[in-house]
Amino acid sequence: MARLGIIGGGMMGEAIIARLLFQGLWHPADISVSDPAKNRRSFLHQQYGVAVTDLNEDVAQCEVVVLAVKPQSLVAAVAGLATAPCQLWCSILAGVPLSQLEALLGNKAVIRAMPNTPARVGAAVTALAAGKWVAPEQMDLARKLFGSIGTVVEVPEHLLDGVTALSGSGPAYVALMVEALADGGVTVGLPRAIAQELAIHTVLGTARLLAETGMHPGQLKDQVTSPAGTTIAGLRCLERGAVRSALIEAVVAAESRAKELGKG
């Protein structure tokens, strides 16, 4: 197994480590993590048994390195690494194009990845976009790496801002919907804890049903909607409030902002 380095031991870096080890895809001895915070390094070493350092140069000795720093920290994080032995770089930095990454990293193989926060429970969806020097076997390795935290899809790079807007920001939209549904339950008399549990599992179960059956969302909506029933009364209120349009506009606005961030 190729040695894996992670530059940036934050939430997403930790999620990748945890899932790789849980599934037995990598061993702690084959993973190195760099992070500037001493407390964070100590935690990762004690919790997962991985090697830790504050020197990005040490991590860049690994065959595969995941860049998991903030976009504004990129230049400082990779300074002097263009000649490092690493042969495959995987960047999860939103908005930073492959061309910039390749230039900074000495025209090595670079893959951009856009995972989302459900990675913490192995339920992420990650979009991958390959740079021009990526070999098929390197793409296979990236699929395995990010497959440890959930589902993997491949897209051309120009669609990654749309991915950021939909699945990257999407957990916030869904969380807002869950909160609103729970508030609705409280409004009609349900205890808060029960209302929240009902809302969470309604969303979870519906998503699972759509994923496992391949059913179109509109078909499921129609199955639940009886003539002159409770569901159509509720849907009428949602349409009056333009909820469908608001969600579409949220994705469009998020994509526009992602493009702005990508321009620096």
Mean pLDDT of 113-139: 96
**pLDDT digits 0-9 by tens, 26-60:** 999 999 999 999 999 999 999 999 999 999 999 99
**pLDDT digits 0-9 by tens, 205-262:** 999 999 999 999 999 999 999 999 999 999 999 999 999 999 999 999 999 998 887 7
Domain 4-156 fold is: Rossmann fold (3.40.50)
pTM of the model: 0.91
**Contact, 50 vs 13, CB < 8 A?**
no
pLDDT of res. 264 = 63
* Percentage of residues in the chain having pLDDT higher than 90: 94
CATH of segment(s) 168-262 = 1.10.3730.10
Task: Delimit the CATH 1.10.3730.10 region(s) of the chain.
Answer: 168-262
3-state SS, residue 102: helix
**In sequence order, which ranges of 65-119 are alpha helices (DSSP H)?**
74-77, 98-104
pLDDT of res. 258 = 86
* Helices (H) then strands (E): counts for the chain: 12, 8
**pLDDT digits 0-9 by tens, 170-187:** 999 999 999 999 999 999
Which two tokens mark 118? 């459900």
3-state SS, residue 95: coil
Calculate the average pLDDT of the chain: 95
pLDDT of res. 13 = 95
Would you tell me the crossing angle of helices 170-187 and 192-213 to the nearest 10 degrees? 130
Mean pLDDT of 182-193: 98
Which two tokens mark 19? 């899932």
pLDDT of res. 140 = 96
Exposed / middle / buried, residue 222 (Cβ in 10 Å: 0-12, 13-18, 19+): exposed
pLDDT of res. 165 = 95
Confidence of residue 94 (pLDDT cuts 50, 70, 90): confident
Q: Which residues contact 81 (CB under 8 A, 6 or more apart)?
A: 56, 57, 60, 104, 105, 106
CA–CA gap between residue 68 and residue 70 (Å, rounded): 7
pLDDT of res. 2 = 87
Task: Delimit the CATH 3.40.50.720 region(s) of the chain.
Answer: 4-156
More confident residue, 1 or 153: 153
Mean pLDDT of 53-78: 94
